[in-house]
Structure 1
């Protein structure tokens, strides 16, 4: 099995919780400045749409950096480029194109879309009732599937970034002791553990 297959299999079978050095090296290699990013897998329009959607999904807050601050769109682009085989890449492109088709893009192009346009798309597909989501699944709605996958990838990339892992989540690079019966609040001040 080659490296690409190993990363793909672990990343996909564990629900994007891969803990192998290769996936982390991809994540850590995403250090370009936001305005200088030129997508490798996505075309320019797809990259802009992905960036804007992810920014709405994981925005910057007073206490935490946003997805754009830790280069999540760049990571997703690089991950798709380096990990997906031809069949997966083709399917992923179809999904991303379905997102673009669901947006109200005029002749002016993707750059003229407003945050409200992206927010309306997310409300239509992701901020719905359980019944509506089940209907999307039953109908095999490709745009719904694409947005759910994008959200899952974004959260996975965000939580495994170095900045979030070391500064936001509970982080102990060399755990020294094991304390059995203590509360989460006492152990980590209520934070989830970093990988």
Structure 2
């Protein structure tokens, strides 16, 4: 199974947690023309920003490591470059730059220099602005969706954040589910 198909399957499992615009890219984007790929580039600093952004959405808890540990700092830019049309890539890159500008305007610091409360405030503001503008494709929506998709398709997401039953094993369509138990990653 190729990466796109695997990610599409994870997106289906996540259901409405992923926006319709990201789902559309995954469903119809099996053939992004080569001339549309890699329209934008991301620096190692951008990858670090995206790792920290994702880690605010899915932080480390006592039961599982967070998004940063799952490698989302490199996953998000790779997905944007390889799977999204050129127009969306440019929207994402522009939004990342605007987020950095917002940090400088609000705190006179870049995103990586902000403390956790300031970073959370930036994310809440971005979310609010996205909702108010009724944007279906924005930096915030794409980064959030790829955070969920990447995390729950990663080894950490499947084995620590969710209940894991290694394969090979027998199929049990009536596996017991205890109240408070993690959702199954495999069955």
Shift of 1:177: 3.5
| Larger-gyration structure (1/2) | 1
SS in 1 for 2:94: helix
Larger helix proportion, structure 1 or 2?
2
- Contact (CA 8 Å) 1:46, 1:100: kept in 2 or not? no
Q: Report the RMSD for the aligned CA atoms in angstroms.
A: 3.8
Q: Where does 1:27-42 land on structure 2 (aligned, <5 Å)? A: 41-42=41-42
The match for 1:151 is: 144
The match for 2:116 is: 115
Shift of 1:117: 2.6
The match for 1:85 is: 85
Q: How many residues align?
A: 159
The match for 2:68 is: 68
The match for 1:192 is: 183
TM-score, normalised via structure 2 length: 0.64
Q: 1:136 to 1:179 in 2, by over 3 A?
A: closer
SS in 2 for 1:59: coil
The match for 2:172 is: 178
Q: Hey, what's the Cα distance between the residues in 1 that align with 2:159 and 2:185?
A: 7
TM-score, normalised via structure 1 length: 0.61
- Contact (CA 8 Å) 2:54, 2:147: kept in 1 or not? yes
SS in 1 for 2:163: coil
Shift of 1:162: 1.4
Shift of 1:64: 0.7
> What are the ranges of 5 or more consecutive residues in structure 1 without an aligned counterpart?
23-39, 127-132
Q: Where does 1:17-28 land on structure 2 (aligned, <5 Å)? A: none
Moved more, 53-62 or 115-124: 115-124
Shift of 1:10: 4.3
> What are the ranges of 5 or more consecutive residues in structure 2 without an aligned counterpart?
13-17, 31-39
